[in-house]
Amino acid sequence: METKTITITRKIQLLIDSEDAEFVKQAKAQLYQWQNICFKAANMIVSHQFVQEQVKDFFYLTEDIKLKLTNQKKDENGILQLSRESTTYHVLSRHFKGQMPMNILGNLNHGLLSYFNKEKAAYWKGEKSLRNYKKHIPMPFGADVISKFTLTPDGRNYCFKLFQIPFRTYLGRDKSDKKNMLERIRTGSLKLRVSHLQLVEGKVFLLASIHIEKEQHVLDPAVIAEATLSIEHPITVKIGKHEHAIGNKEEFLHRRLAIQAAIHRIQKGAAFNRGGHGRKRKMKSLDDYRHLEKRYVEQKLHVYSRMLINFCVKHQAATLLLVNQQEKEEIAKEDAFLLQNWSYYSLKEKINYKAERAGIQVIVE
């Protein structure tokens, strides 16, 4: 049965809600300590789960070894004292209990085990390698640990407590739907699911996961939209006699190459920039242009994918076929220029998300 909801994620910057500089410093230090533990715990979880799967290959240990990865209490041939999810949870509890909230470790364990089970078939075929988690891993937590979710006195932001640390959102000049989403969470018309905290370059972000209703559109299962992704036109879509090109090479690629040329010029001149704060001061202009390129590409891909889905909805197409996409991605892997400058994967990801929200099925050919 088709679900009527979809999970979306919104990235929201958070500030520690205190005027005490020492308290803010200690709270951030604690968050970084928790993130470091999450990094260790994540790699520990996948390592233990991988070894448990590989036990079946340890045939040389003894002839009468029991090889069922189940709880011994439920199956006499089982080799575990607990369920598979409980085994890694107890390992984390033994190593890290008292050092950070177990709510985070429990949600981390559950989420990573879910990823592992989805991907393990690809591990054995050699199509994927075991995930390796980095130090900036987001920290998952259940929505039940958030308390006192209220509006700030100025009515522009929201404040709440998470693990007894006071936070305040920083929405700035928000032009998206973040404030609307937060207000609906405050009033109870929307519910937060398992969300994440992430620390990036000294900033704290909330990756809020929310279940929302899918958009309701009148779609015809007999109508199929065929779309191709290319350099000349980012997206060309055809539905019956109707054909539409979205974007063009000059608009997307040439602007991106111009930004890259500026980055190259700044790199050459960075050594002559005024110092004062070491590398950070000298490289500031370079970092600004790199962020400019990233923002430009993300904005364009969002616009292109939205125009594609709007075109499909207008013509009531219930299915969207991405023609020869897998072949193009293989070609792009061999072409350094395409790999660097044409964001096939990111565009496809945005199309999938918007199509799912609109109730359109995407098929990659």
pLDDT, average across residues 13-40: 93
Q: Which residue has the higher pLDDT, 270 or 192?
A: 192
Q: Which of 21-25, 152-156, 285-289 has the lowest mean pLDDT?
A: 285-289
Classify the C-alpha dihedral 116-138-127-49 as positive or negative: negative
pLDDT, average across residues 346-361: 87
Q: Using 50, 70 and 90 to split pLDDT, how confident is the model at 58?
A: low
> How much is the pLDDT for 22?
94
Q: Is the pLDDT of residue 329 over 80?
A: no
pLDDT, average across residues 169-183: 83
Contact 130, 46 (CB under 8 A): yes
Q: Using 50, 70 and 90 to split pLDDT, how confident is the model at 75?
A: low
Residue-wise pLDDT for 266-299, tens only, equals 777 766 666 656 666 667 777 777 778 788 888 8
> How much is the pLDDT for 2?
56
pLDDT, average across residues 252-272: 76
Q: Using 50, 70 and 90 to split pLDDT, how confident is the model at 341?
A: low
Q: Is the pLDDT of residue 69 over 60?
A: no
Residues constituting the chain: 365
pLDDT, average across residues 34-56: 86
Q: Which residue has the higher pLDDT, 250 or 148?
A: 148
187 burial via Cβ count (<10 Å: 0-12, 13-18, 19+): exposed
Amino acid (1-letter code) at residue 248: N
Domains (range + CATH), the chain: 5-21+138-213 (no CATH), 31-125 (no CATH), 220-256+296-364 (3.30.420)
Beta bridge partners of 160: 167
> How much is the pLDDT for 214?
79
Q: Which two tokens stand for residue 74?
A: 């439920």
Round to whole Å and give the CA distance between 333 and 351: 21
Q: Is the pLDDT of residue 1 over 60?
A: no
Q: Is the pLDDT of residue 35 over 90?
A: yes
Q: Is the pLDDT of residue 160 over 60?
A: yes
Q: Which residue has the higher pLDDT, 333 or 116?
A: 116
Residue 189: phi and psi, rounded to 5, are: -80, -15
Integer CA distances (angstroms), 248 to 227, 235, 351, in order: 15, 8, 18
Beta bridge partners of 166: 161
> How much is the pLDDT for 71?
47
Q: Using 50, 70 and 90 to split pLDDT, how confident is the model at 158?
A: very high
Q: Is the pLDDT of residue 344 over 80?
A: no
pLDDT, average across residues 11-22: 92
CA-wise closest residue to 350 among 291, 297, 314: 297
> How much is the pLDDT for 56?
63
Q: Which of 123-137, 191-205, 302-316 has the lowest mean pLDDT?
A: 123-137
Tell me the average pLDDT of the chain. Answer: 81
